Amino acid sequence: MSRTVSSLRGAVVRLSRALLGAWLIVGPFVGIYARETDALVVVLVLLAAAYGFAAGRAASDGAACLAPIVFDGLTLLAVLWIASASRELFGAAVAFRLHEHLWAWPALILLCFWLAEFLAARKNPARA
C-alpha cells in the first residue's frame, strides 16, 4: 500500500512537471495564435510566470533540473497526440462515451503517469 501511495504522489509531481514542460514547449505557439488582446495578455503572463519559474529553478539547482521538466512535458505531449489520434481509430469500438465527461481526460493522463511511476517503483524498490 505504501508503494501505491508513494507512486501516486510521484505521479502527481511528474504530472505537474509535465504540465509546466508542455506549457514551456507549446506556450509560445499559443501566444502566436491568440487573437484577442485579453487572451494574449493572459498567455503572456502565464508564459512569463512559467519561464520565470524555470529560470529561477535553473539558477538555484543548476540547468540539470530542467531535463526532467522538458522530458515529462514531451511525454505529456506525446500521450495527448497519441490519444487524439487513437480516438478516431478506436472511437467506434469504445462505448463508454468518456468524451462527454469533463473529468475523463485528466484522470486518464494521471492514470498513465501513475502507472509509469508504479512500474518504476516496482522495478526499483530502493527508489520508492
Which residues are CB-contacts of 15 (< 8 A; sequence separation ≥ 6)?
Answer: 72, 76, 109, 110, 113
Structural domain includes residue 117 = yes
Q: What are phi and psi of 36, to 5 degrees?
A: -90, 155
Written as tens digits, the pLDDT of the chain (128 aa) is 677 788 888 888 898 999 999 999 999 998 888 888 898 999 999 999 999 999 999 999 988 999 999 999 998 888 888 777 766 666 655 556 666 667 777 887 888 888 888 888 777 766 54
Structural domain includes residue 52 = yes
All three cell numbers of 45, joined, read 503572463
Structural domain includes residue 128 = no
Number of domains in the chain: 1
Which residue range is the domain that position 99 belongs to? 2-123
pTM over 0.85: no
Return the pLDDT at 1.
Answer: 62
